[in-house]
Amino acid sequence: MKIAIVDYGAGNLPSVERALAKLGADTERAVAPGQLACAKAIVLPGVGHFGAFVNGLRERNLTSSLCGALDSGKPILGICLGLQAMFASSEEAPGEPGLELFPEEVRALPTNVKSPHIGWNQLRRVHTSKLLRGIPDDAYFYFAHSFAAPASAQYTVAACDHGFPFAAVIEHNNLAAVQFHPEKSGETGAQVLRNFVDSVP
């Protein structure tokens, strides 16, 4: 069985594939619900627009199988927009429901800071994190986003500040998500992906 990388019709999948392949993980692009059902773990990468993203998932009938995979206990990793999509909604696409795994709304970064938040930033650890195991507290991660989920979200294990404190790493049972791009975060990012791959049975 393979790690399924959800292909919703946009986004830079090759860099996620390449980063996982370097760790020896066997991946496939998943465009159909059946592929998610068969996978041993799921990566949900995302760039672009919240509305286009959740619609892309719905059009491919992937939302219910994602939730099914969550119930089955399979490790799931959301990246960037993949994290935001797990929330109820986003200011980026008012009226467009997300996956609603968490009740909060994703908000636009405020106007008193540069937006998009582009570049390498550090994290503030809130709880023990499986994904950040073995990574120094002052390590840098690459971010590129204009919207973010509030750090007050229940399962935030690491936060970052840019305009307001936002959720940088979320972990709850088999579900994990990161606002930064581990596939673009050098050796530090590779360690995050390695920790995820190691959690795959």
Query: Does the annotation mark 160 as catalytic?
Result: no
- Going by C-alpha positions, the residue among 89, 13, 70, 1 that lies closest to residue 39 is 1
Q: How many residues does the chain have?
A: 201
Q: Which of 117, 145, 162, 181 is catalytic?
A: 181
Beta strands in 36-163 (DSSP E): 41-46, 76-80, 87-90, 102-108, 117-121, 124-125, 141-145, 147-148, 156-162
Residue with tokens 């996982």: 20
Query: Does the annotation mark 49 as catalytic?
Result: no
Interacting residues with another protein (CB under 8 A): 10, 12, 14-15, 18-19, 47-49, 111, 114-124, 136, 140, 142, 144-146, 160-162, 181, 183-187, 189-190
Is the Cβ of residue 37 or residue 52 nearer to another protein in the bound state? 52
Q: Which of 80, 104, 160, 171 is catalytic?
A: 80
- Going by C-alpha positions, the residue among 135, 139, 26, 150 that lies closest to residue 88 is 150
Q: How far is the CB of 104 from another protein (least distance, A)?
A: 21
Query: Does the annotation mark 127 as catalytic?
Result: no
Q: How far is the CB of 76 from another protein (least distance, A)?
A: 22
Is the Cβ of residue 10 or residue 200 nearer to another protein in the bound state? 10
Is the Cβ of residue 64 or residue 146 nearer to another protein in the bound state? 146
Give the Å distances, CA to CA, from 168 to 27, 28, 39, 131, 179: 25, 26, 26, 11, 5
Q: Which amino acids are annotated catalytic?
A: 80, 181, 183
